[in-house]
Chains A and B, each alone.
Chain A
């Protein structure tokens, strides 16, 4: 019987262990150097919660709830919801074809079309919604339109990338069968690709709504419509009780939106789970 020489195995294992230790040490040193460069004084953390407590109790408490129940403010809340809704729907409708063109395995125009779609998706994602809002305000002036456009671009960048990644991970077999039957590229997409990504697309769409709605509550900070404008005005006028009420309302709306999304997602997953059991 041949005996295995364990010395080289032990050597390789020790070498891997040392490499891991060196890597951890390098990460720790990198973090410490970054903190030094940023001149972060860690000792200030000790007083953080005391100072926060004083600030909240002396300036932000009690919140002025009467302010957020005024008709004009409530109108801005409705405006925010509508902005998010329009931006999400339009953004998703544009993100689906863009993702189709951008996906390397399904693009009907594999060179020019794929490159153009990727430029649009990456460009939309590379710049934050708030920066897009400032850009559109400069071009179109203050108002809802600038906000909706900024949010739509954010939606295209976010959902477009996730949709394209889903398409790129599909099983090519049904696509090959569709092509073999002489189907055109639209038919291949609708019947070979979409049925495979439908559940994932719905999940991504719900998640996109969460993200867009959260952004919609603050684009108004720059004058792009919605309740964000009231947040900025009260903050500028040092009306801390009103700022507190608005922040609490934003938090409540985001929580409600996420609860609705969570229920929608659970309902969908429940249905797919049941189908798996039916097999």
Chain B
């Protein structure tokens, strides 16, 4: 990502200002920063759910910012996204929600009638079993708990076989114990699949526990990019604009 700027239509100021960063394969990076610092916009700009106003994003050898239509959709399939509010189809069963991760790569007719090959269904079922949802394949998603729903969301993203995982506040709607389990699961599955992951997170302690590298955003600018060890409380205070250490 080079000199990335994002300005929302009608706004007078950029939400992201000259962001520059790169991710290596299998790297697990946490993005921290106060609310409104541009963390969610950063992730949504990478898969172009939000349009960058200037700058460059490259996924391998592809320039993402210039893609349109079919090529953009193909590029999005290489990036799995995990959402804060899970963003599942509530009326669908667990297995069907995971299969939707590959609906874009199916032919129109197969997609319309949700006709997936048996091998693909088996693969989705195995993935759900891996995250402890093997008994819930035929359960409607709206009957699950928050933690279980997020596991379905994780499976859907990984079922795309992505090269990059975009993880947006995956634990904000969960209690601390479940939040820890979910972060552990995301990190382990990302490592197992050899996928790079960029994870927005509010909880600094949780981020410190699971990420090898941290990127800090303040008012749309990257103010820190490096290992957690070098990030002391004074620096954190600057990132979150707090003077009282107990607030961190």
Contacts and interface: CB of A to CB of B under 8 A. Distances in A.
B103 A195 contact: no
B111 A177 contact: no
B87 A174 contact: yes
Nearest to B108: A186
Contacts of A191: 89, 92, 100, 103, 111, 114
A278 B143 CA distance: 7
A195 B89 contact: yes
B225 interface: no
Contacts of B49: 176, 179-180
Contacts of B104: 181-184, 187
Contacts of B216: none
B75 A182 contact: yes
Nearest to A185: B73
A279 B139 CA distance: 11
Interface string B76-94: 1111110101111111100
Given A173-B83, A279-B143, A180 B47 contact: yes
A275 interface: yes
Which one of B73, B157, B166 has the highest number of Cβ atoms from chain A below 10 Å of its Cβ? B73
Contacts of B166: 180
Interface in A189-228: 190-192, 195-196, 198
Contact of B88 (A177, A187, A198): A177
A195 B47 contact: no
Given A191-B89, A278-B143, A178 B73 contact: no
A178 B89 CA distance: 10
Nearest to A278: B143
Contact of A174 (B47, B79, B88, B105): B88
B33 interface: no
A184 B71 CA distance: 11
Interface in A86-113: none
Nearest to B105: A182
Interface in A150-191: 173-174, 176-184, 186-187, 190-191
B85 A173 contact: yes
Query: How many of chain B's residues touch chain A, expressed as a range?
Result: 35 or more
Contacts of A190: 111-112
A167 B103 CA distance: 21
A279 B108 contact: no
A178 B140 contact: no
Contact of A187 (B92, B111, B142): B111
B41 interface: no
Contact of B140 (A174, A177, A275): A275
A188 to B, nearest CB: 9
Contact of A182 (B74, B83, B87): B74
B236 to A, nearest CB: 30
B187 interface: no
A149 B21 CA distance: 60
B170 interface: no
A177 B105 contact: no
Contacts of A179: 49, 76
Contacts of B92: 191, 195
Contact of A177 (B83, B112, B142): B83
B156 interface: yes
A181 B77 contact: yes
Nearest to B77: A182
B171 interface: no
Contacts of B103: 178, 181, 183, 187, 191
Interface in A28-44: none
B160 interface: yes
B101 interface: yes
Given A180-B49, A182-B73, A279 B101 contact: no
Contact of A173 (B47, B87, B91, B140): B87
A182 B103 CA distance: 8
A198 B92 CA distance: 12
Contacts of A186: 108, 111-112
Given A181-B77, A182-B74, A279-B143, A174 B101 contact: no
Contacts of B75: 182
Contacts of A184: 73, 104, 108, 111
8 contacts: A177-B87, A180-B79, A182-B77, A184-B108, A186-B108, A186-B111, A195-B89, A195-B91
Given A173-B83, A275-B140, 8 more contacts: A173-B85, A174-B89, A177-B87, A181-B81, A181-B100, A182-B77, A191-B89, A279-B142
